[in-house]
Amino acid sequence: MIQTLEAVIDEHGTVRLLEGIRLSSARRALVTILEDEPSTNRAETALLSEVALAEDWNRPEEDAAWAHLQQAQ
């Protein structure tokens, strides 16, 4: 499975992932250098993606897929 992770690369070329990851073995990776400074506001990224993700989350198929986790109380 291909995953995209946000990272910061310092002036010495050291790559620091902004979130943890666990891998079963060593993997190859591609690094894309972006022009702008690293964002310190992760909440902004979540808010910007909320609308796009809601399109998938708010479908009847999603409700059906997760219905087994909702127990009657």
What's the pLDDT score for residue 63?
85
Does any domain span residue 1? no
Both structure tokens of 35: 């022009």
Q: At 50, which helix (H) or strand (E)? A: helix 42-57
The pairing of beta strand 7-9 with beta strand 15-17: antiparallel
Identity of the residue numbered 34: L
Does any domain span residue 2? no
Query: What pLDDT band is residue 41 in, cutting at 50, 70 and 90?
Result: low
Task: Domain count for the chain, please give it.
Answer: 1
Q: Find residue 7's DSSP bridge partners.
A: 17
Query: What pLDDT band is residue 34 in, cutting at 50, 70 and 90?
Result: confident
Both structure tokens of 56: 């998938």
What pTM does this model have? 0.44
- Residues contacting 50, CB < 8 A, separation 6+: none
Structural domain containing residue 41? 7-68
